Amino acid sequence: MKRTAAKERGGSKKGSARNSLAVRICVLVTVFTASVLMSSMYFIYYQANRTAEREAMEKAQQALMAISLRMDNTLDGVQIAARNMHQYVEHHLDEPSIMDSLCRLLVATNPQIMGCSVAFEPDFYPRYGTYHEVRTFRSPEDSTLILTAVNRGSQPYTHQAWYYEAVHHGKHIWTDPYYYDVGSGDLRPVVSFSMPIRDALGATAGVMSVTIPMEWFSGVVLSMRPFPGSHAAVMSQDGKIVIHPE
C-alpha cells in the first residue's frame, strides 16, 4: 500500500509538472501570438498612415500645381498684351508722338491693366529734354476714362524699380508691390510688368511697363482655395507676405 501511495504521489507530481509545462507553453504561445498580432497591426497601421500621407501630399501637390497654372494663365494674359504692344513701340521709335496712343490702346483693351508707361533713356529724344516718359492710366473715379501724363525732362524715373530692374537685368521683370500715382497724389498699391525697349542696333532705348492694381491681383489670388478652409498667399522676392486673407 505504501509503495502504491508513493507511486500515486509520484505520478501526481509528474502530472502536475506536465500540466505546468503545458500552461507555460500555452502562455508563451499566447504571448508570442499576441506579439506577432500587435506587430502586424502596427505594420498595417504604419503602412496605412504612410499611404494616406502620400495620397494627401500628392493631392496637395496637384492642388498647388493647379493654382500655379491658374496664376500663370492669369498673368500670361497681361504679359501677352504687353509684349504685343512692346513690338509696336520698338518698331516706331522714330515716331515718339504716337507713344501715348499706343499706351491708351493697350489700357483701353485690357480691363485688368491700370496703366502703361513708355520711358526712354536720358537724352534719347534731346528735343524733349533729359527725360521723356509717356504714361496713361485709368481715372480713379471712372475706370473707363483713360488719362495721359507726359514727363518731358522734369522728373527722373531711371532709379525707380519698374525702370531700373528691367534695364539692369536686360530682360522683362515683375516688380514687387509699390505705390503708383494715379493723379493728384492719389497713390495705389500696384505691381508692374516691365520690358527693356531696344533700338535697331540692340542698344537699350528705354523701358515699357504695364501696371496692374494689387486690388485686382489680390482678388484673383484670394479666390483660389485648393481645399475647404485653405487659402492662397503671395510672397515678394525678399520673402515678405504681400497678399494674405488677413
Q: Could you tell me if 113 and 209 are in contact, meaning their C-beta atoms sit under 8 angstroms apart? A: no
Site of grid cell 531711371: 158
**Joined grid coordinates for residue 31:** 504571448
| Cα 107 to chain centroid, rounded | 25
Return d(Cα 51, Cα 41) in angstroms, integer: 15
For residue 173, give the H/E element and its range.
strand 173-174
- Residues 72-85 have pLDDT tens digits of 677 788 899 999 99
Q: What percent of the chain has pLDDT above 90?
A: 36
For the full predicted model, state whether its pTM sits above 0.85.
Answer: no
SS3 32: helix
- Residues 120-176 have pLDDT tens digits of 999 999 998 899 999 999 888 888 899 988 888 778 999 999 999 999 999 999 998
**3-state SS string over 176-239?**
CCEEEECCCCCEEEEEEEEEEEECCCCCEEEEEEEEEEHHHHHHHHHCCCCCCCCCCCEECCCC
